[in-house]
Structure 1
Amino acid sequence: MGCNMPESSCAAAWEPEWTQSRRVGGYLVSPFCFFWEPSQAISDLVLVADVLYDLGTGLEVLSPLCPHLFLEVAGLGNFAKGMAVVAARATRLPIYSSFAREGNLSDLFAKGEAISTLFNVVGLGAGIQLASTVCSSMQGKLIVGPLLSALHIYSVVQEMRAAPVNTLNPQRTAMVVADFVKSGKVSSPADLRYRENLLFPNRLIEEAGNVVVGQPIRKAIKKPQKLKELREAFPNEKFLVNRRSEKTYMLLEQSATGEDALRGWLVAAFAAEMERSSGRGSGQAVLHEAYEKMERVFPSFVAQVKAKGWYTDQFLDGSGVRFAY
């Protein structure tokens, strides 16, 4: 598509470029975007926008069933569709820019919009055919509508998974660390793209230590004395790791990068592995041993991570809370 770098690198530029563009003016795009964190993945926004569009379409279809609330239901559906369209279109420029060479952005934009228009026309024709056949009755609409919506969302998910993304977020970081702990090898963005769960991105991965990142300090570390102990256990680090109830709560400093997140995740994974293998409970001794092991393997680990094409200069933790002291 006219890209002057590898395809995976082009696709990976979606997220960091989207982050920058959202910080500049994304909150002015629509009320929907106002509630979206700038550092969250662009794929999540595309998926949510499509779900919102299908929801709005469903409300418009169902509005005749509510004659006394027809205007309210139809208006709400149209409003949802409008927000979804604006939010989805706001993602197009960063995507096109990621694949563009200097001077050919307009060509890419024209081709992309032409393809979009073509399929809109094809979809309109298919909709007319359905409306005159199986969807001529409300019962038909109620059966076919959800099926088409499910097919639409499935297609969007597969579309988002098809492009490898090289930036680190909690789920991708956990999968990278889990694979390294199990096999000693680092998976590439292309290896992980179809394993990433776009619908439930906050799932915990046991092999990576069941890490929960971005929680408030009062929830992750309940006692001030514990906070003091952790700061002493991880000197000069931009993360704090606290094992509790089969979970690992990790706090990141405001300036923490992807490498800092990887260091913390490795400590959590090694600590969880030691607890499972030896039967010891979580404690400072286990964390100290896991930290020392992380220090030994991290140089080779991060070298593999960078060699596989991962970007370690930033960490996209969405709406997660960070600390400073």
Structure 2
Amino acid sequence: MEASKMTKHPLIIEEWNGSSSTKLFKTATITFSPSLQIQRSVNGFNHVWRRFLDAFVPEASSSLPGFPGSVTPDYVPFQVWDSLQGLSTYIRTMLSTQALLSAIGVGEKSATIIGATFQWFLRDLTGMLGGILFTLYQGSNLDSNAKMWRLVADLMNDLGMLMDLLSPLFPSAFIFIVCLGSLSRSFTGVASGATRAALTQHFALQNNAADIAAKEGSQETMATMIGMALGMLLARITTENPIAIWFSFLSLTMFHMYANYKAVRCLTLDSLNFERSSILLQHFIESGQVFSPKEVSTMEHVLPLWTTLRLSKSAKPLHTNVKLGLRVSTLDHSEIPFVDIVANSSYIVTLAKYLLVERKGTVSVVVHKDSTAEDILKSYIHALVMVNLTVEQKSLHLECQSWMDKHYESFVQKLKLAGWKAGRLLSHSIIWKAHWSLGEKTD
């Protein structure tokens, strides 16, 4: 009786593999009947291939979808171009390192160990000091301008390797050249590391930033190994052939710059910075609508603005005439914004979270020390509106306040509906803040 039940209703156990519930795949089926049967659903090669990919593509938690659903759509194209530019970097590193070691004196009988050690130490020391200074002056801007600084970081790395390659050609200026190259690479290290963290947070859709960072490390390690192997082969082929060395280096550098440009152009960041806010506001004033993050990504600059404004005949963007976070102690007595109006509007001024100062077409924002991210976004948009009205030569304060009262809430709501994360990064760029209050009257 029991045997007949087993024949009619055999027990079937399926084997599944994967770390995400929506990305599991069946590897085997085991059927318990009078004769035990095991049927494998995939071959060994496919299983090994899937496990290999798991080391390079991000997954999510067991209850959420894995790759590619665990990352933003711009993750894959960015990583492809980023891996290609990294590969070209590691190939060129072999050429520049070979030239640097030759300049230090490796392989020459006249070279001393202490001399080479001192030169290497001075080179590294310059780079460390440069990294600290760069962090001091630009650390607060790296999050809000991640695309620009990611590209600038790699261009500075190109300059550093160029200095290493030039060092044997100018023995009398060797120390200066290698220190300049080390200084350039120190900027690269700080900017690249900081922007990498910002981009990882952007890619992570399911609180899986750590997994994305780990998988990116695996991708970079693989690119490094391939690049080092190709670099050693190229260095061996081009040994004692300066023309071949320089042709290879310059060709790879051009490709590296192109791949970096394509990589940052692939990014569709949904956080507001100065330029994106300016683009969005100008379009909203003209049409009443806002661009999506993808539309803005094709319009914003990926190089420092001063490098492109000289070549462009169009008007300067609004945000170039706005200074967010003005230092109050730099103002003249007549410029302090609340001196003239405190007698009539003392209550309003006391409650205000920001104040605007207009000077020769430039609008500066004095930010209250207790202001929130929403207050800072509002102050910046208010300043942009004032700059726009200044360009059109209209009555500033009344027109500006009227526009804010009528349109600001609608503008912010449309930003959120379009997928923008409003105001989060603007507050990171402010160093100077102020506090104002009304003191007691004196006789």
Is the aligned partner of 1:31 residue 2:135? no
In 2 relative to 1, CA 225–82 (structure 1 residues): closer, same or farther, beyond 3 Å?
Answer: closer
Residue-by-residue CA offset, 1:63-112 (whole Å, 9 max, x unaligned): 10112343553355356546634653465456446527567944x44532
% identical aligned pairs: 21
Long gaps (5+) in structure 2? 1-57, 76-127, 310-314, 437-443
Corresponding pairs, count? 302
Match of residue 213, structure 1, among 324, 329, 339: 324
Alignment TM-score, normalising by the size of structure 1: 0.71
C-alpha distance in 2 between matches for 1:34 and 1:124: 30
1:192 aligned residue (285, 296, 299): 296
Deviation at 1:189, TM superposition (A): 1.9
2:283 is matched with which residue? 179
Letter in 2 for 1:254: K
Match of 1:239 in 2: 354
The 1:89–1:323 alpha-carbon spacing in structure 2 relative to 1, beyond 3 Å, is same
- 1:272-287 matches, within 5 Å, as 272-275=387-390, 277=392, 279-280=393-394, 286-287=396-397
Residue of structure 2 equivalent to 1:113: 217
Distance 1:48 1:145 in 2: 19
Q: Pick one of 186, 204, 226 that aligns with 1:99.
A: 204
Is 2:372 aligned against 1:254?
no
Choose from 35, 40, 44 the match for 2:142: 40
| Equivalence for 1:160 | 264
Does residue 1:227 correspond to 2:328, yes or no?
A: no
Change (3 A) 1:167 1:245: same
Q: Which has the higher contact order (CA 8 A, sep 6+)?
A: 1
Give RMSD over aligned pairs: 4.1
Q: Where do 5+ consecutive residues of structure 1 fail to align?
A: 12-26
The residue type equivalent to 2:139 in the other structure is: E
Deviations 1:243-282 (A, max 9, x none): 33233223333343443344334434444454555x45xx
Equivalent-residue separation in structure 1 for 2:180 and 2:390 (angstroms): 52
Q: Distance in 1 between matches of 2:239 and 2:291?
A: 46
Is the 1:274–1:286 contact (alpha carbons within 8 Å) kept by the matching residues of 2?
A: yes
**Given that residues 179 and 187 in structure 1 are in contact (C-alpha distance below 8 angstroms), is that contact kept between their aligned partners in structure 2?**
yes
Going from structure 1 to structure 2, the CA distance change for 1:99 and 1:200 (only over 3 Å counts) comes to same
Aligned to 2:153: 49
Give the equivalent residue in structure 2 for 1:267: 382
Counterpart residue identity of residue 268, structure 2: P
Q: Is the 8 A contact 1:210 1:248 kept in 2?
A: yes
